């Protein structure tokens, strides 16, 4: 699997993402600069976490207008796979490659803590490493992760099975109104979603930070394994 990681000014989880991709796929990802106007031949484009342009406007709003995003859009329109994590998810919504918006956390504070994610769909490359209903641990670290969308958009996401991950309790219980279970206040406890063709995925928590047994946990491995299985011809 040939993966490229886009670096925006202010991106800060590119090394984490590279480490995860390297560990699970055995292949070194290429780093792409936000001003690049062409993509190399790739199986996967990743928009990693961080604070692109300081997020001094809305989170991800400036990054969505970087020159490389024209190429990312073309890549996606041609059926390419795009993963956005945290700030990457925010950029994907700002670029309207995924629907909805990520507002300030309901607590109005930055949240850095472990959460549990329930896998709601296991047919996309991003989720096939799990079974539907599986629960895994992932750290979250964001100030703006409160997923919001218009009612009809939510209905479509739910109806088409495009909610990939939901915040949950370790036992799988979901309760969108309980801040202990849905820490940032996301609508319907949505933590990650898929595009219509299932090839673009955005999620707020960081599975890339839980892939190395030497650091104590491997909960995030199935996401990357699933991608490798899907994208290695």
Closer to another protein at the Cβ: 109 or 132?
109
**By three-state DSSP, how is residue 193 classified?**
strand
Which residue in the list 34, 81, 142, 206 is annotated as catalytic? 206
Binding residues for another protein, per CB under 8 A?
9-10, 12-13, 15-16, 19-20, 49-51, 53-56, 109-113, 139, 141, 143, 206, 208-209, 212, 214-216
Q: Shortest Cβ distance from residue 72 to another protein (Å)? A: 20
Closer to another protein at the Cβ: 56 or 132?
56
Q: Shortest Cβ distance from residue 16 to another protein (Å)? A: 3
- Does the active-site annotation cover 86? yes
Which residue in the list 34, 86, 94, 120 is annotated as catalytic? 86
- Does the active-site annotation cover 206? yes
Beta pairing partners, 166:
118, 190
Q: Shortest Cβ distance from residue 108 to another protein (Å)? A: 10
Gyration radius (Cα) of the chain, Å: 16
The CA distance from 155 to 45, in Å, is 28
Q: What is the number of residues in the chain?
A: 233
Geometric angle at alpha carbon 148, from 20 and 66, rounded to 5°:
55
Closer to another protein at the Cβ: 114 or 134?
114
Residue with the two structure tokens 């024209």: 70
Taking alpha carbons only, the member of 164, 201, 2, 175 closest to residue 86 is: 201
For the annotated catalytic residues, the residue numbers are 86, 206, 208
């Amino acid at each position: 699997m040939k993966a490229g990681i886009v670096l925006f000014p202010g991106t800060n989880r590119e090394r984490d993402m590279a480490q995860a991709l390297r560990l699970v796929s055995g292949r070194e990802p290429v780093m792409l600069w936000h001003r690049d106007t062409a993509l190399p031949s790739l199986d996967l484009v990743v928009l990693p976490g961080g604070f692109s342009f300081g997020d001094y406007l809305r989170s991800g709003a400036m990054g969505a207008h970087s020159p490389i995003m024209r190429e990312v859009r073309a890549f996606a329109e041609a059926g390419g796979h795009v993963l956005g994590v945290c700030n990457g998810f925010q950029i994907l919504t700002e670029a309207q490659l995924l629907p909805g918006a990520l507002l300030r956390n309901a607590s109005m504070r930055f949240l850095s803590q472990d959460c549990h994610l329930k896998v709601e769909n296991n047919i996309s490359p991003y989720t096939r490493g799990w079974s539907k209903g599986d629960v895994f641990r992932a750290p979250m670290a964001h100030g703006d992760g409160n997923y919001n969308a218009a009612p009809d958009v939510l209905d479509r996401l739910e109806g088409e099975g495009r909610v990939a991950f939901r915040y949950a309790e370790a036992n799988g219980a979901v309760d969108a109104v309980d801040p202990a279970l849905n820490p940032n206040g996301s609508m319907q406890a949505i933590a990650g979603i898929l595009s219509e063709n299932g090839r673009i995925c955005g999620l707020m928590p960081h599975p890339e930070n839980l892939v190395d047994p030497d650091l104590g946990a491997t909960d995030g491995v199935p996401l990357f394994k699933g991608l490798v299985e899907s994208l290695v011809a």
